[in-house]
Amino acid sequence: MSDIQSVLNENRVFPPSDAFVKQANVSGMAAYQAMVDASQKDYPGYWANLARENIQWKKPFTKSLNDSNAPFYKWFEDGVLNVSYNCLDKHLTTQPEKIAIKFEADDGKVTHINYRDLHARVCQFANGLKSRGIKKGDRVIIYLPMSIEAVISMQACARIGAIHSVVFGGFSSKSLQERIVDAQAVAIITADFQMRGGKLMPLKSIVDEALALEGCDVIKNVIVYKRAGGEMTFNAQRDVWWHDIETNQAKVCEPEWVDAEHPLFILYTSGSTGKPKGVQHSSAGYLLGTMLTMKWVFDYKASDVFWCTADVGWITGHSYVAYGPLAMGATQVIFEGIPTYPDAGRFWKMIQDHKITTFYTAPTAIRSLIKLGGDLPAKYDLSSLRLLGTVGEPINPEAWMWYYNVVGQGRCPIVDTWWQTETGCHMIAPLPGAMPIKPGTCTLPIPGIQVAVVDETGLEVDGTHGGSLVIKKPFPSQIRTIWGDPDRFVSNYFPEEMRGFYLAGDSAHRDEDGYIWIMGRNDDVLKVSGHRLGTMEIESALVSNPLVAEAAVVGRPHDIKGESVVAFVVLKGARPADSATAKKLIEDLRNWVGKEIGPIAKPDEIRFGENLPKTRSGKIMRRLLRAIAKGEAITQDVSTLENPAILEQLKEVIK
């Protein structure tokens, strides 16, 4: 509650400086309002104009929005294009020498690649993929560390019309298996190892583990990028070195021209069931969204040095590392390592060394860097910065003020960008040369996007009341379906009571200026360090342990991570008799979850009970568990509780 209170009392306002407004791509509120008006006057025409201006089409489209089969919307459907062409080939005549990527390795070594060479390498690798029989429509899993090669893989898939599905390098072999099977992928692109914080961590052996599991014989090719050159097993039939398929290939590769709606990628994300959802994105609509938000929200200029710190395993790394910056012809930094190695000044040193102008990171990173060295930014020259951004979770006003004053030195607007894996690009975010900003709010929707805060019946709530956040109209960059599960797509995002609106899954309220304040998820999804985790996924992981009978997982507010995972577990046998036994079991169960899902999903705390608090009909009362996890007194009505005595047991914390 205290966080919500401080957010509600927030009344500081920071209008953009005259100097920023003057140079901005969207300059002043009147310019923003004019765009909003244009979108309202002729909605499909507005998007069609933008799609014509921003995308290079092989064959132009004649139709803008097709909503005849709602909510399976189609945009620009008879247009033909290639996304990789739009990210690379288009720059070959205009700026072949411009640096596309400045890659900084974990150990500090920097590699530059310009647009001409990046295009050549993408073509060579695309030819390599084709030489292995990979073709348009095939699904390819990418399981790589942050690297130039990760971007090359994604671009090469896009070039040949293969559908990539990037799996974050922190996911386990079980998570990998689940995604391979669901996507029916034919190939995996991975690396021998990854380097993070001075440590070598295996990737290929995790792939090997996954491929030994059920259903993974669909994978015919494993392409291995040699990052470290350590010990590794190699299956000559199935595995091939990246360099062996890239090196001798031609440096040109005619793009596979695809329809606007051709799936560009699938990205798995957590929902409110135990099974991750394969969010399917389109080619043209998605590309358009990333380009427009680069211009409008990041106020992109050709002279910028752009740095989004997100891993390509998440949507942020898709839209603002692999696609958006390249489509704009930007110079961007890609970083292999972690913010705290060799010390908590790494980000600030990199901003200084690479003369970063636009820096985009997560509130959780900001909070941990405040804690580990709030005075460190002052030791570096951060004068190149002109714009800061945040994403992934609400930012508390204290962290916002530090980011604004200490990192941005009071000079740089902060764009707090609200969006989701499903929306493909920013939806609610300040246009920094237009909106006055306030700590803790993502402000107003980008021009063309219409949002509302509604009650359970889909009716708009008035004034500053809280409710569910919805997007009222279809938009080009939105999710097309859940891979292999169109019914879940409809019921999850377009439930009947929402009257055709897209249901985001967040609760929000508006202030007197109409600014949106995101309060958090209102489904069973947690945001731990900005990463999306389904409570049901963690529960099924726990229950799959032979010792566990039942489990319930809830989130608890955490100063740095935003939320932390707390699990309540009922064992098949007796509760642990002493604290040593309990501790050992807790460690085993945490590691079990690490193995089942990945280290990010490990519960911070596990408590044991003989049962869980349930209603007479057997429903677990999660709000009670949330209160217990926070150490709050239970003030709620417990009269419907079948077994009130259990609450006392679950309050016991094992120290």
Paired tokens of 43: 């909605």
Q: Which residues contact 490 (CB under 8 A, 6 or more apart)?
A: 71
Minimum distance of ligand WT7 from residue 505's CB (angstroms): 6
Taking the least distance from each CB to ligand WT7, the nearer of 246 and 416 is: 416
Contact 286, 296 (CB under 8 A): no
Q: Which residues contact 253 (CB under 8 A, 6 or more apart)?
A: 122, 123, 124, 126, 127, 130, 159, 160
> Quick check: 563 binds ligand WT7 (CB under 6 A)?
no
C-alpha torsion 392→156→248→113, nearest 10: -50
Minimum distance of ligand WT7 from residue 203's CB (angstroms): 22
- Give the C-alpha separation, 285 to 281, whole Å: 8
Window 28-47: residues binding ligand WT7 (CB under 6 A): none
Taking the least distance from each CB to ligand WT7, the nearer of 124 and 293 is: 293
Which of these segments, 70-78, 407-415, 417-425, 591-599, binds ligand WT7 (CB under 6 A)? 417-425
Taking the least distance from each CB to ligand WT7, the nearer of 161 and 289 is: 289
| Mask for 475-514, x = binds ligand WT7 (CB under 6 A) | -----------------------------xxx--------
Q: What is the DSSP string of 592-637?
A: HHHHHT-GGG--SEEEE-SS--BBTT--B-HHHHHHHHHT----S-
271, 324, 392, 413: which one binds ligand WT7 (CB under 6 A): 392
Q: Which residues contact 8 (CB under 8 A, 6 or more apart)?
A: none
Residues, the chain: 655
Closest by Cα among 219, 237, 220, 222 to 191? 222
User: Based on the number of CB atoms within 10 Å of its own CB, is 187 exposed (0-12), middle (13-18) or buried (19 or more)?
Assistant: buried
> Quick check: 416 binds ligand WT7 (CB under 6 A)?
yes
- Give the C-alpha separation, 175 to 372, whole Å: 32
Minimum distance of ligand WT7 from residue 238's CB (angstroms): 32
Taking the least distance from each CB to ligand WT7, the nearer of 527 and 556 is: 527
Taking the least distance from each CB to ligand WT7, the nearer of 164 and 607 is: 164
Minimum distance of ligand WT7 from residue 198's CB (angstroms): 27
User: Based on the number of CB atoms within 10 Å of its own CB, is 349 exposed (0-12), middle (13-18) or buried (19 or more)?
Assistant: middle
- Give the C-alpha separation, 312 to 334, whole Å: 10
Q: What is the DSSP letter of 189?
A: E
Taking the least distance from each CB to ligand WT7, the nearer of 249 and 477 is: 477
Minimum distance of ligand WT7 from residue 416's CB (angstroms): 5
> Quick check: 518 binds ligand WT7 (CB under 6 A)?
yes
Which of these segments, 30-38, 401-409, 410-418, 599-607, binds ligand WT7 (CB under 6 A)? 410-418
Which of these segments, 242-250, 415-423, 572-580, 630-638, binds ligand WT7 (CB under 6 A)? 415-423
159, 164, 532, 561: which one binds ligand WT7 (CB under 6 A): 532
527, 561, 590, 607: which one binds ligand WT7 (CB under 6 A): 527
Please name the residue that has the structure tokens 């237009």.
434
Paired tokens of 654: 């094992």
State the distance between the two ends of the chain, measured CA to CA, in whole angstroms. Answer: 26
Taking the least distance from each CB to ligand WT7, the nearer of 172 and 417 is: 417
> Quick check: 20 binds ligand WT7 (CB under 6 A)?
no
- Give the C-alpha separation, 126 to 160, whole Å: 7
Taking the least distance from each CB to ligand WT7, the nearer of 76 and 265 is: 265
Q: Which residues contact 197 (CB under 8 A, 6 or more apart)?
A: 106, 337, 338, 340, 341
Per the DSSP assignment, residues forming a β-bridge with 608 are: 569
| Mask for 420-439, x = binds ligand WT7 (CB under 6 A) | xx------------------
Minimum distance of ligand WT7 from residue 455's CB (angstroms): 19
Taking the least distance from each CB to ligand WT7, the nearer of 227 and 426 is: 426
21, 210, 315, 627: which one binds ligand WT7 (CB under 6 A): 315
Minimum distance of ligand WT7 from residue 182's CB (angstroms): 18
- Give the C-alpha separation, 616 to 613, whole Å: 10
Which of these segments, 56-64, 386-394, 485-493, 556-564, binds ligand WT7 (CB under 6 A)? 386-394
> Quick check: 442 binds ligand WT7 (CB under 6 A)?
yes
Query: Would you put residue 376 in left (φ > 0), alpha (ψ -120 to 50) or beta?
Result: alpha
Which of these segments, 59-67, 141-149, 243-251, 388-396, binds ligand WT7 (CB under 6 A)? 388-396
Indicate the residue whose CB is closest to ligand WT7: 421
Contact 449, 431 (CB under 8 A): no
Taking the least distance from each CB to ligand WT7, the nearer of 518 and 536 is: 518
> Quick check: 324 binds ligand WT7 (CB under 6 A)?
no
> Quick check: 322 binds ligand WT7 (CB under 6 A)?
no
Minimum distance of ligand WT7 from residue 422's CB (angstroms): 7
Paired tokens of 328: 């704009």
149, 336, 393, 563: which one binds ligand WT7 (CB under 6 A): 393
- Give the C-alpha separation, 373 to 53, whole Å: 45
Minimum distance of ligand WT7 from residue 520's CB (angstroms): 6
Minimum distance of ligand WT7 from residue 441's CB (angstroms): 9
Cβ count within 10 A of residue 466: 16
| Mask for 257-286, x = binds ligand WT7 (CB under 6 A) | ------------x-----------------
- Give the C-alpha separation, 650 to 637, whole Å: 17
211, 366, 391, 625: which one binds ligand WT7 (CB under 6 A): 391
Window 128-167: residues binding ligand WT7 (CB under 6 A): none
With residue 550 as reference, give the H or E element that holds it: strand 548-558
Taking the least distance from each CB to ligand WT7, the nearer of 190 and 316 is: 316
- Give the C-alpha separation, 20 to 112, whole Å: 30
Binding residue count for ligand WT7, defined by CB under 6 A: 21
Query: Would you put residue 538 in left (φ > 0), alpha (ψ -120 to 50) or beta?
Result: alpha
Minimum distance of ligand WT7 from residue 485's CB (angstroms): 17
Taking the least distance from each CB to ligand WT7, the nearer of 61 and 419 is: 419
> Quick check: 521 binds ligand WT7 (CB under 6 A)?
yes
Query: Which residues of the chain form contacts with ligand WT7 (CB under 6 A)?
Result: 269, 315-316, 391-394, 416-421, 442, 504-506, 518, 521, 527, 532
